[in-house]
Structure 1
Amino acid sequence: MYKQIAKALLVPIIASISSFPALDVEDCMPPKSHYRNIQCTYNKHLFVAYDDDYRPQALLNIKGKVTASLKDFDKVEAWLYSDGFFPVLKNDQVGYINEQGKLVVPTIYDNLIDPNDKYNEVWANPVYQGKIVVVKDGAYGVIDTNNKVILSY
């Protein structure tokens, strides 16, 4: 039953992602920085900088100033930024950071990539209205952005 409820929560999340305003290349103006690879987010004042191998390096503000180091993470999903949070991946475990780069949901949740689905590259769900659908030990659950369990796994 919990799995159906958790999956039902994915519908509004997916709908919210598809309703994000499209960021045109012209709309995205990465700041000047010594980083060569800078990705826009849905917050026009926040950017994610990557090294040449696309490992996350830093959160940047609109002036190109580093506001937080991201070097502790294997991945940071800039395009899944939502409600002020970014999904992060460390040692194949998912967690979430806030706009200041603070880890607010520890990296203890399962990576969502299905090894049998070669087209699926989504490894985390975005935050939706302060809630996140997560998977732990193969079971779905819902947490809030303080890592409080709302719907058990």
Structure 2
Amino acid sequence: MDQSNIYKTSYRTTSLQNISKAFYLLFASIMATLLRLSIAISVVVGSVFMVSTVQAASCKVPKSYYKNVSCTADSNYFLAKKDFGAPVALIDKNGKKVADLMDFQRVDGAKIAGGLMPVQRNSRVGYVNMQGRLVIPTMYDILKDDQGWARPVSEGRIVVKRNGHYGVINTSNQTIVPFSSAITNIDNYRGGIAKVRKNQALSRLDKNGKTTSDPNAKAETKAPVQASDNRVNPSIPLPFTTLQPHQQDGKWGFVDEKKVTMITYSFDDVRPFSEGLAGVRVDDNWGFVNLGGDLVIPFRYDNKITKAHDNYNGVSAFVFNNGKAWVGNLNNGDKMCIDKQGETVSCD
């Protein structure tokens, strides 16, 4: 072999070695990248699986004789359904039925909030409490927005639709934001403010339904409430001077002077409003609501001890007079009275 052929062969060998080395380095780089990507995917998948496992573990369905039981937004309650999804009952952590839901077409346990759960009957929306009592009648439209067929209670307010128009009510079924065809959507309340889209413009409303441009405007209304000598919020505009008891379908509520229902028929007995508060009874216990329909003194006074038709010093039980209401008797026979904050005071 002559000298020129030797040089050519040597050159080809060196070139092939360089090409092979380059391919090896490229292959090694690709494999390293794939390995890092595989590790990253494994970490992400593992994290997702771990989160899902934790979430699943946080909801433990109690033992019961119901076949289909699922968790709700409230860890104290669970929803029992039929095979085809129809609601049966609300049960507690011990598997005991606390509310019968057979009368409703649908319920949404994922939206339990403020002690209320959305329900459907005859294709209308209402709300029940955790004992199954229909607190807000099934009188509202089924929603068709991106938040499902009903909204949850949000800071004591509920976005609903009636006759195709959006509005806002409170948990006593009183209208806070009037229903209007100009409103295209209302966000749930957050921090005391709800965003409202009306006539293609965005505005903010406070919990009283009043327009506000300052999200902190709510804090300015706190001072008058604290300065008040009772639990009636003076910042809430009341278009009436008082409400009258009214009975319907065996339950009691309150109406205004035009016979419009202002506090829903949710009570077994009531007393007239006096000094801004009214005694109301559910089962065997009395409490007090204000003109806004809010329960300001809890149900804790036994009807078996003091009857509503009893009177003391010419005033019926559970009726305020001069800042006091007679609500029961002590073991020694003395009368027990409370003030408008629910604190025990002397009756004399």
Q: What is the TM-score with the length of structure 1 in the denominator? A: 0.78
Q: Which has the higher helix share?
A: 2
CA distance in 2, matches of 1:40, 1:84: 16
Task: Say whether 1:27 aligns with 2:58.
Answer: yes
Whether 1:44 aligns to 2:70 is no
Residue 38 of structure 1: SS of its match in structure 2? strand
Given the alignment of the two structures, is residue 142 of structure 1 paired with residue 173 of structure 2, yes or no? no
1:74: how far off? 0.4
Partner residue in 2 for 1:74 = 105
Unaligned runs of 5+ in 2: 1-51, 180-348
Give SS of 1:58's match.
strand
Q: Give the Cα–Cα distance (whole angstroms) in 1 for the partners of residues 147 and 115 of structure 2.
A: 22
The residue number in structure 1 matching 2:89 is: 58
Unpaired segments ≥5 residues, structure 1: 1-21, 115-119
Task: For CA contacts below 8 A with separation 6 or more, give which structure has more relative contact order.
Answer: 1
| Structure 1 residue identity aligned to 2:166 | Y
- Distance in structure 2 (CA, Å) of the matches to 1:51 and 1:31: 17
Query: Which amino acid in 2 is paired with 1:73?
Result: F
| C-alpha RMSD of the superposition | 1.6
Q: Which has the larger radius of gyration?
A: 2
How far did residue 113 of structure 1 move?
2.4
Which of 147, 155, 160 matches 1:129?
155
The aligned amino acid for 1:45 is N
Cα separation, 2, equivalents of 1:68 and 1:54: 17
Runs of 4+ displaced beyond 2 Å:
none
Partner of 1:8: none
Q: Partners of 1:34 and 1:112 in 2: how far apart?
A: 34
Residue 143 of structure 2 aligns with which residue?
Answer: 112
Q: What is the DSSP-based 3-state SS (H/G/I as helix, E as strand, rest coil) of the residue aligned with 2:56?
A: coil
Counterparts of 2:136 and 2:97 in 1: how far apart (Å)? 22
The whole-number CA distance in structure 2 between the counterparts of 1:126 and 1:43 is 12
